Amino acid sequence: MAKVDAKLDLDSLNIEELAALRDRAIEKLAEKVAARHAELEAEMERLSQYGKSAKKSPAAAPAAKTKKRDEKKSDEAGGETSGDATDQVADAA
């Protein structure tokens, strides 16, 4: 990263000069952000080859969680069914 050796006295600049400085700074910042974005995308692309096999494992994990939820729902439904049967037996007596 290059340093700017000259220091600006912002108080000595008029409005037009300050506006021009702001515009140059915004333009330079946009260039640097775009360059960094491209670097990061290239890095992600390079790393994605390692993540392809790893992505399959986490995809399997939510399926396991779904099964636990389904089991819980069946247990709750089973509990309600047995409760209904108990109520029916009590009504019959």
Query: How many distinct structural domains can be found in the chain?
Result: 1
Task: Tell me if 13 sits within 8 A of 26, measured CB to CB.
Answer: no
How far apart (Å, rounded) are the C-alpha atoms in residues 8 and 31? Answer: 22
Tens of pLDDT, residues 45-62: 999 988 776 555 554 445
- What percent of the chain clears pLDDT 70, i.e. is strictly above it? 49
Tokens of 23: 């515009």
**pLDDT value of residue 8:** 87
Which residues make Cβ contacts (< 8 Å) with residue 21, sequence separation at least 6?
8, 13
Structural domain includes residue 36: yes
| Side chain identity at residue 34, one-letter code | A
Residue 18: which domain range?
Answer: 10-92
Measuring CA to CA, how many Å separate 90 from each of 72, 77, 85?
A: 27, 20, 9
Q: In the structure encoding, which two tokens stand for residue 31, read together?
A: 């260039």
Does residue 37 lie in a domain region? Answer: yes
Q: Is residue 4 part of a domain?
A: no
pTM, rounded to two decimals: 0.46
Question: pLDDT by residue (tens digit) across 19-51?
Answer: 999 999 999 999 999 999 999 999 999 999 887
Residue 1 is assigned to a structural domain of this protein: no
